[in-house]
Structure 1
Amino acid sequence: MAKVSVIIPVYNGAATIGRALASVFAQTFTDYEVMVINDGSTDDTAAVLSRYGDRIRVITQPNRGLSAARNAGVRASHGEYLAFLDDDDQWMPEKLARCVPVLDADPGCALAYTLAVKVDAQGELMGSQSQTEGQPDGVESPTMQEMLTRPWNVVPSQFVVRRDVFERCGGFHERFVTSCEDLYFLLTAREYGGFRCVPEPLLRKETRPLYPKALEREPECDLFVELVRDRYGASADGLIDGFRRSRVKVLRHLGHILIDEGRPEDARRCLARVLHYEPASPKAYYRYLKTFILPRGARASASTDRPGV
């Protein structure tokens, strides 16, 4: 039985899955099995996967989303530890070799995670980045209280988790299809043990355009808030407040970018969602209404914003 089960969900990832798999096969730690879940792909993903033969095990299912795909991979796997990798991400060669000993040495550690660097669709580093990229709020091993006080998150490609912890959590909540499943999973996983950081950037995380992805995630953001309130009650007020503020920041920033690109209708959709979070904010209404007075194709710079807005 392999020590680590590598779980890779893929949906229409024919162009990227090869890079992800190459990064697994380049690992210096070799006691692993690879489960690839083809989640209803309609491109050439199946053909690409067929080239790997028995180096991987492929599970094919109708499209059900990230959570259901990862859970299916875990159910079919046998490793003591679970390592997740998205089809458009890549591990550095030492990823597993650095995480596995952390879990081996500390039975009370539920999950070990690494730092990350952001790359574009061509795999090139984005801007100047420090080695603290991927370290949430500088908190290496948050207590449960800290996680309920403010948002804390690392993406699944960054962490390795004990199978027994994953199973006690019930896996990834399958009502989450495209987002927030990691946030909720980390909360529940922290109930069963501590987290440890491997302070090295051992993940290359692909970053894609924010629009329309950020807006499409909003229904699942509402679901996240609902589930957190149901599970943790008033003790999670700080987390929920911080989560809402983070969503406002993303959507407001995206609205400004879209205005600058001369796309007032798209900007309006984002800023209307800001009103959902800030229904009593005059500034939020000002930003939203401003999208109606910009002519189509106009390129308004950030400097044209009213000061303080």
Structure 2
Amino acid sequence: MSALHQTDDRVAIIVPCFNGEKTLAATLESALAQDSPVEIVVVDDGSRDASLSVARAFEPLVRVISGPNRGVSSARNSGIALTSAPWIIFLDADDWLEPDTLKKRLAIAKSENADVTVCDWIEIEDNGGGELVEGARRSIDWAAIGSRPEVAIAHHAWATTAAILYSRKIVDRIGGFSLDLPVIQDARFLFDAAYHGARFAHSPHVGARYRVLPNSLSRSNAARFWRDVLVNGRQIEELWRVRGSLDGAQIETLAGIYNNAARGLFAAAHPTYFDAVASQRRLGAPLPRHSRLAPMLARLVGLNAARLLLSLATPLAGGPGRAHAPFSFSAKQR
């Protein structure tokens, strides 16, 4: 174990914020209440509300920077560059940390020499009337992570960023958040940690509250979401192919990603649907029935008409417009 891991407990808490005036104060209070040395940076990403004023009310305990709207990945990358602590948490401006969670995560990270330490979290939902309702306790799929973390994360394993403690050395190895995946960047960052050889550890306590939003990007802009899923799948395939031929688990995982993307893009009548099907075909795996028949119909009558026709043909489609994300998350930055 390195001397850095033994002696330096400082945690950088990076808070990207876009129009978060209603929730930001509670988020920052939860960060400041930690019984561990923290370095908190709020990156206001061109908010059009009073977020910047809310953040500045916490100065000098919190460092605040602002700039034009460039997206959550750019905001997080700015926060990485402005901090120096050997541990990092990316905390969304509407989530919050539970008391003493940093101390608990750090203890596990040090004892297991982990680069990525993940605790459990509680989902919080708005009941529609402004009242917050506590939902289920969630945890990443540790059985899958322990077997093959890259495949597990590419396939389904996910945790909210508030539940993840990264070592700076793995963050530096990754090189920052991807700017070309505006919706699923957090899931990809976790994959990239695994791809770069991160050691994972579980801190078995509830350490974060994750707010599930009804108007998240993944729910409000289906085409954009599924386009990200497709691009992410292609990039992961390219990374895996650099190492050699794909194995069975990798092919199965990629086939699932491309099938989900194809169904989602078909339902959104987006032209990149054909790219998703082409990616499926290139894998050489057997195509599901929908991807064998729907592309021919879509080329013949157009995507919109094909979507309507297949929505009436349930035996063929099996619910053609329904697609399940390979990540169980809800992108909140807009």
The structure 1 segments of at least 4 consecutive aligned residues displaced by more than 6 Å after TM superposition are: 270-275, 284-287
Which residue of structure 2 lines up, in the alignment, with residue 12 of structure 1? 19
| Alignment partner of 1:172 is 2:186 | no
2:292 to 264, 280, 290: 280
Query: Structure 1 residues 246, 157: CA separation in 2 closer, same or farther (over 3 Å shift)?
Result: farther
Which residue of structure 1 lines up, in the alignment, with residue 235 of structure 2? 227
Query: Structure 1 residues 153, 171: CA separation in 2 closer, same or farther (over 3 Å shift)?
Result: same
Give 3-state SS (helix, strand or coil) of 1:97's partner. helix
| Alignment partner of 1:23 is 2:30 | yes
Contact 2:119 2:205 in 1 (8 A): yes
1:204, 1:98 → 2: CA distance? 16
Which residue of structure 1 lines up, in the alignment, with residue 61 of structure 2? 55
2:202, 2:131 → 1: CA distance? 24
| Alignment partner of 1:34 is 2:53 | no
1:84 to 79, 82, 90: 90
1:148, 1:53 → 2: CA distance? 37
Segments of structure 1 that go 5 or more residues without pairing to the other structure are 256-267, 294-304
1:248, 1:155 → 2: CA distance? 25
Contact 2:16 2:75 in 1 (8 A): yes
| Alignment partner of 1:120 is 2:125 | yes
Query: Structure 1 residues 81, 149: CA separation in 2 closer, same or farther (over 3 Å shift)?
Result: closer
CA drift of 1:248 comes to: 6.8
2:228, 2:212 → 1: CA distance? 20
1:274, 1:219 → 2: CA distance? 9
CA drift of 1:115 comes to: 1.4
1:72, 1:123 → 2: CA distance? 33
CA drift of 1:63 comes to: 1.3
The aligned amino acid for 2:202 is: C
Contact 2:12 2:38 in 1 (8 A): yes
CA drift of 1:56 comes to: 0.3
Query: Structure 1 residues 89, 245: CA separation in 2 closer, same or farther (over 3 Å shift)?
Result: farther
1:94, 1:230 → 2: CA distance? 40
Which residue of structure 2 lines up, in the alignment, with residue 262 of structure 1? none
Which residue of structure 2 lines up, in the alignment, with residue 43 of structure 1? 49
1:18, 1:148 → 2: CA distance? 32
1:108-257 map, 5 Å: 109-121=114-126, 122=130, 124-125=132-133, 127=135, 129=136, 131=137, 133-136=138-141, 138-139=143-144, 141-144=146-149, 146-147=151-152, 150-176=155-181, 178-190=182-194, 191-209=196-214, 211-233=219-241, 234-235=246-247, 236-245=250-259, 251=264
Which residue of structure 2 lines up, in the alignment, with residue 93 of structure 1? 99
Segments of structure 2 that go 5 or more residues without pairing to the other structure are 1-7, 278-289, 299-304, 320-334
Contact 2:121 2:209 in 1 (8 A): yes
The aligned amino acid for 1:226 is: R
2:306, 2:203 → 1: CA distance? 42
The aligned amino acid for 2:22 is: A
The aligned amino acid for 2:233 is: V
Provide, for residues 227-249 of structure 1, a one-character-per-residue CA deviation record: whole Å limited to 9, x for no partner. 11221123532332233455578
The aligned amino acid for 1:269 is: A
Q: Which range is displaced more, 162-171 or 146-155? A: 146-155
Normalising by structure 2, we get a TM-score of 0.71
CA drift of 1:144 comes to: 4.2
Alignment root-mean-square deviation, CA: 3.3
The aligned amino acid for 1:242 is: G
Provide, for residues 166-200 of structure 1, a one-character-per-residue CA deviation record: whole Å limited to 9, x for no partner. 00111212222x32222222222123321111222
Provide, for residues 112-148 of structure 1, a one-character-per-residue CA deviation record: whole Å limited to 9, x for no partner. 0111221114462355x2x4x1323753535346437
The aligned amino acid for 2:183 is: S
Counting aligned pairs with the same residue, the percent is 20
The aligned amino acid for 2:291 is: P
1:39, 1:4 → 2: CA distance? 22
Contact 1:148 1:237 in 2 (8 A): no
2:28, 2:131 → 1: CA distance? 15
Query: Structure 1 residues 207, 201: CA separation in 2 closer, same or farther (over 3 Å shift)?
Result: same
CA drift of 1:70 comes to: 0.6
